């Protein structure tokens, strides 16, 4: 079970979270988000993160040039596309050597068959709750709708995940659940993570992985 902590930008807080060794850390490059990195994200601090932590840039309907500029500036290993990006758009970025996490906002009427067009041009999918914002709404969707997913591409689960609902991940057993994406439920303020909550979350999820390997 991989752990992605998303929506970071504060250098001291970033260092504290990095010390817990999550698998992925996400930075939001969308100016409508309360966690938008803006000018707050220190380039040297991000580049100094351990290589074991994969750096993810989150973009929403951004221009390819804007994405490529930030990938280079911060040495991002993945780009998470959280808008209405087309399969062709994903392919064009992939052709430039970028690893893609394509996010989809899911509700009860979500059409999983449309994912077929994205499979060849994405490394992972991410299923988030459909809310007012493209992400970070702090709400959970009904994970039972994932029974309609054909389970061919590994995915992250996102949307309102925190310490109080980790046990519900059990219902996704047998699926290609690659990791969880946490954000607003482990914060003290937008963009500032509660270190104790993240530490407990990692401690609770990592043994699941170790038990399955045993």
Q: What is the CATH number of the domain that holds 204?
A: 3.20.20.70
Q: Tell me what the mean pLDDT of segment 121-132 comes to.
A: 87
Residue 180 main-chain phi, psi, to 5 deg: -110, 145
- Tell me which residue of 49, 61, 57, 116 sits closest to 85, measured CA to CA: 61
Reported as type and span, the H/E element at residue 99 is strand 99-106
Number of separate domains in the chain: 1
Q: What percent of the chain has a predicted confidence (pLDDT) above 90?
A: 79
Share of the chain above pLDDT 70, in %: 92
Q: Which residues contact 179 (CB under 8 A, 6 or more apart)?
A: 1, 2, 3, 4, 23, 24, 156, 157
- pLDDT of 133 above 60: no
160 has pLDDT over 90: no
Does 59 have pLDDT greater than 50? yes
202's tokens: 């990692």
Q: How far apart are CA 31 and CA 52, in angstroms?
A: 28
The stretch 17-38 carries a mean pLDDT of 96
pLDDT at 44 over 50: yes
State the residue range of the domain holding 99.
Answer: 2-213
Q: What is the pLDDT of residues 79-110, one digit of tens each?
A: 999 999 999 999 999 999 999 999 999 988 89
């Amino acid at each position: 079970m991989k752990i992605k902590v998303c929506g970071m930008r504060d250098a001291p807080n970033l260092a504290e979270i990095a010390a817990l060794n999550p698998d992925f850390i996400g930075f939001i490059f969308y100016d409508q988000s309360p966690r938008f990195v803006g000018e707050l994200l220190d380039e040297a601090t991000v580049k100094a993160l351990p290589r074991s932590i994969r750096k993810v840039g989150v973009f929403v309907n951004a221009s390819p040039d804007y994405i490529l500029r930030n990938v280079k500036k911060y040495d991002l290993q993945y780009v998470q596309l959280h808008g209405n990006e087309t399969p062709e758009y994903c392919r064009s970025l992939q052709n430039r050597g970028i690893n893609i996490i394509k996010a989809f906002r899911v509700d009860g009427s979500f059409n999983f068959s449309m994912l077929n067009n994205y499979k060849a041009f994405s490394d992972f999918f991410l299923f988030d709750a459909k809310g007012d914002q493209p992400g970070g709404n702090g709400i959970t969707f009904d994970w039972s709708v994932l029974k309609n997913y054909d389970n061919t591409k590994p995915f992250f689960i996102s949307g309102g995940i925190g310490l109080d609902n980790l046990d519900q991940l059990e219902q996704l057993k047998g699926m290609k659940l690659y990791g969880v994406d946490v954000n607003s439920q482990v914060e003290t303020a937008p963009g500032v993570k509660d270190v104790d909550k993240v530490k407990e979350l990692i401690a609770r999820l990592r043994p699941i992985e170790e038990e399955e390997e045993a």
